[in-house]
Amino acid sequence: MADQPSLFDEPASGSSPSDDISSDVKQEVLELHAQLNQANYQYYVLDDPQLPDAEYDRLFHRLKGLETEFPEVLTSDSPTQRVGATALSHFEQVTHEVPMLSLDNAFNEQDMLDFNRRIVDRLKQSEIVEYACEPKLDGIAVSLLYENGRLIRAATRGDGSVGENITQNIRTIPSIPLKLLSSDVPPILEVRGEVYMPTTGFEAFNKKALANNEKPFVNPRNAAAGSLRQLDSKITAARPLEFCCYSLGRVEGATLPNRHSEILKQFSIWGFKINPEMQVVNGIEGCMDYYHQLAEKRGSLAYEIDGIVFKVDDIAIQQALGFTGRAPRWAIAHKFPAQEQITLLKDVEFQVGRTGAITPVARLEPVFVGGVTVSNATLHNMDEIARLDVRVGDTVVIRRAGDVIPQIVNVVTSKRPDHAKQIQFPQSCPVCDSHIERVEGEAVARCTGGLVCAAQRKEAIKHFASRKAMDIDGLGDKIVEQLVDEGLIESFLDLYSLKLADVANLERMAEKSAQNLLDSINVSKQTTLAKFLYALGIREVGVATAQNLVNHFLDLKVLVKADFDALIEVDDVGPIVAQHILNFFSEPHNQKIIDGLLNIGISWPKIEKVAADELPLNGRTFVVTGTLASMGRDEAKQYLQSLGAKVAGSVSAKTNGVVAGEKAGSKLTKAQDLGIDVMDEAAFLALLNGHGIQHA
C-alpha cells in the first residue's frame, strides 16, 4: 500500500519478530514497544509524563540493544525507528482516495448567521443544530494512513487530490503514533489533522537561527511547512513539531461513532492528540459564545490559531448536507482579524537602553493589526535590518502575535519606491555622541558612554525607581527625564538629596505632590536586599536572579567580594551573568554609588541561612500556567525554585500545586480534576510574601 519504498519495509513475516529467535526476546521486545509507546503517548499526546526520563532512556537503550543483537526483531513501528537513515532525493506523489477539501470562511457574525441559515433551510428541520467547535490551527494539513494499526503513509494536502508522500518526516513527530494504541483497530484508517509548531518552539528556533546568522521563519505556519519539506528527516526530527487530529479521512472494515466529537474521542483512545478546547455547542449562539471565549484565550494558547472551525456534529446530517465543489456545507472557518498587515515604513529611529544597547525602532504609518493599532515595531539590530534589506519608504509586512512586540517580517520589494533610503546605523551614540561598540559575536551595538550618556542615566534611574526595584511611588518616567534634563540629578543616588524647591519647580508639579514624592523617596530606604540588588541594574540580573543571589550569599558584603567560581555556584547564574556581576562590582563608580546609598540609610532586614533541604518548598513540584499580571511565567518559576520547589511543564498526579493566572487552560482543568491545590495570582503573591519575597 505504501507509495514509495520505505527504509523500514517489514520482514516477510509482518510486524511480529520472526520465529527462529527465543520467544523470550520477542516477548521482551513487544513489551518494550508497548511501554515506550505508552510513555510517548502520556508525554507528547496527553502532556502528562508518568515515566521518569531516566527510566524511558533505560527502556529505549535496552530495546536498541536487543535490536542490534537480534536484527530480526527490528520492525518499522519500533519506537527506535522514528528517524530515517538516508535522505530522499524527492517526494513521491500521493493520490488521496478521498479528496482533502478546504473550508469556506466566515469573517463576521453575519457570515456565520448565513452559514447556519443555509444549513437549517437545507435540512428543513426546526431543531437546533449541534456544532463541534475547534480552534483552527495555523499549520499544515496532513493525512495519515494506518493499515492494521500501523502507519504506512503520510501525505500533504497538495491540491486536495494529489499531495506529497512525507512519511519519513511525519514519523519523526513524537505525538504521531507509529502503531495505534490498541489491537482492536480498523484494517484501514485514514486520520487527518494539522502539523504545527508550538509558539515556544518557534521562538526558540528563530532565536537560535538568528544567533547562527541563519534565516528565521516568518511565522509558525511557514516553520511547520519548511520543516515538513525537508528531504533529510534528521532535520525534521530536530524541529519542535506537533500533530493534532481533526477529522476522519476514511475507514474500512469497522464502524466509527456517528458523531464527529465521538470519532475524535475514539482517535484519542488510539493514541492521537485531539484538541482539548474542542466543545459541542447548541446552535449558532453557542458558536458565537465559543468564538468570543477562544478569542479571549488565544494569547495564552501554546500554539497559534487563526480562527475557529465549526462542524455539524451529527455525521448523518453532515452526509445529508454534502459538499459544494471545494468545501463541505457542514463546516465553516470563522477567521480572526488578520495578525499580519502591510504598511509604510516612515522612518527608523535609534533608541538607547539602560545598558547602552542601541535598538532601531521602525516608525510606521499606523495600521490595525490583530485587534490593535500599531505605529512602532522593533527592528532588533543592524543584522536584522540587513537580513530584511528594509529601507525607509518601503512597504512592509507587520506581524503582531499574542502580546509580543510587533515585528517587521518582510518587505514588499515590488512596491519599493525609487526614493527608498538605506538605513544607516549611527557612527556614534545618538544621545551623547560617545563611541559605539559592537562586541565580536554579539548582535547588539552599545553606546560606551555609560552614565555620561543621558539616555542610559535616565533609563537606569527609571529602573531603580520601578515597582519591583525600590518602588518609588510618584517617580514616573516623565519626572525622571525632567530631573536629568534640568541637571538636578545624575545618578539614582542623587534622588536622596533632592530638595523640595527643586522638585516643586518641575513642570506640572505642585508643592503637595513634590512633598509626596520626597516622602516616597524617603520611604524607599527601607527595602529588601533582593530589591536593592535588582534596582542596581546589573546586566542580566532580573528579580529572580537577584533573589537567588540573596539566597546564596545572604549578605551584600559577601556578594560584592564573591569571585567568578563562587558566583557560578548560584542557581541560574552562568558564566556570562557572573562576569556581568564581577564587572559591575569592580567598577569604582558603582562602588561609590553603593557606598553612598548605604550611607544615606538604605537598609533591609538581616537574612538567615537556610539549608537547601530546609527551603520551604523543598521536595514539592509546581506547575505555572496562564497569564500572571505582575510577572512572567519564567519569573514565577524562578521564585518557586528560589524557595526550593521543582517546576514542571505539565500537570500529573505528582504535582503538588498549580499557579494559575488568567486564561489558564487545560493544565488548570486537569489540576482541578486531579484535586491538586490551585493558587490564583493573589494567593501566589501571598505565598511569596509569606516567605519574605515581596514582589510588588
The residues carrying an active-site annotation are: 136
Cα–Cα distances in Å, from 568 out to 363, 433, 526, 537, 550?
41, 36, 29, 19, 14
Q: How far is the CB of 111 from ligand IVH (least distance, A)?
A: 14
If you count DSSP H runs as helices and E runs as strands, how many of each does the chain have, helices first? Answer: 24, 22
Cα–Cα distances in Å, from 683 out to 51, 308, 405, 619, 677?
31, 34, 29, 20, 11
Tell me which of 96, 136, 298, 637 binds ligand IVH, using CB under 6 A.
136
Q: How far is the CB of 646 from ligand IVH (least distance, A)?
A: 35
Residue 333 is a binding residue for ligand IVH (CB under 6 A): yes
Q: How far is the CB of 558 from ligand IVH (least distance, A)?
A: 56
Residue 246 is a binding residue for ligand IVH (CB under 6 A): yes
Tell me which of 321, 331, 377, 454 binds ligand IVH, using CB under 6 A.
331
Vertex 438 angle, CA 435 and 444, to 5°:
115
Tell me which of 67, 190, 194, 681 binds ligand IVH, using CB under 6 A.
194
How many Å separate Cα 82 from the centre of its chain?
25
Distance CA 1, CA 4 (A): 9
Q: How far is the CB of 368 from ligand IVH (least distance, A)?
A: 23
| CA trace torsion 449, 453, 457, 463 (10° rounding) | -70
Distance CA 312, CA 133 (A): 9
Give residue number: closest CB to ligand IVH.
Answer: 141
- In terms of DSSP bridges, do strands 657-660 and 677-679 run parallel, antiparallel, or are they unpaired? parallel
- Alpha-carbon torsion 74, 78, 82, 88, what sign? positive
Residue 137 is a binding residue for ligand IVH (CB under 6 A): yes
Tell me which of 247, 339, 547, 590 binds ligand IVH, using CB under 6 A.
247
Tell me which of 328, 356, 449, 626 binds ligand IVH, using CB under 6 A.
328
Q: Is the Cβ of residue 141 or residue 489 nearer to ligand IVH in the bound state?
A: 141
Residue 267 is a binding residue for ligand IVH (CB under 6 A): no
Q: x-or-dash pattern for ligand IVH, window 163-192, by CB under 6 A? A: ------------------------------
* Dihedral pair phi/psi, residue 621, rounded to 5°: -115, 130
Q: Scanning residues 292 to 311, which ones bind ligand IVH (CB under 6 A)? A: 309
Q: Is the Cβ of residue 95 or residue 689 nearer to ligand IVH in the bound state?
A: 95
**Contact at 8 Å (CB) between 144 and 151?**
yes
Stretch that binds ligand IVH, among 99-107, 382-390, 417-425, 465-473 (CB under 6 A): 99-107
Cα–Cα distances in Å, from 211 out to 74, 105, 204, 229, 441?
40, 39, 11, 23, 9
Residue 141 is a binding residue for ligand IVH (CB under 6 A): yes
Q: Is the Cβ of residue 225 or residue 235 nearer to ligand IVH in the bound state?
A: 225
Residue with cell 519478530: 17
Tell me which of 77, 134, 459, 681 binds ligand IVH, using CB under 6 A.
134
Q: Is the Cβ of residue 112 or residue 643 nearer to ligand IVH in the bound state?
A: 112
Q: How far is the CB of 217 from ligand IVH (least distance, A)?
A: 18
Rounded CA Rg of the chain: 30
Distance CA 406, CA 573 (A): 30
Cross-strand bridge partners of residue 250: 190
Q: Is the Cβ of residue 174 or residue 193 nearer to ligand IVH in the bound state?
A: 193
Residue 102 is a binding residue for ligand IVH (CB under 6 A): yes
Burial of 414 (0-12, 13-18, 19+ CB in 10 A): exposed
Q: Is the Cβ of residue 149 or residue 249 nearer to ligand IVH in the bound state?
A: 249
Residues at the site binding ligand IVH, with contacts judged by CB under 6 A: 101-103, 134, 136-137, 141, 157, 194, 246-247, 309, 328, 331, 333
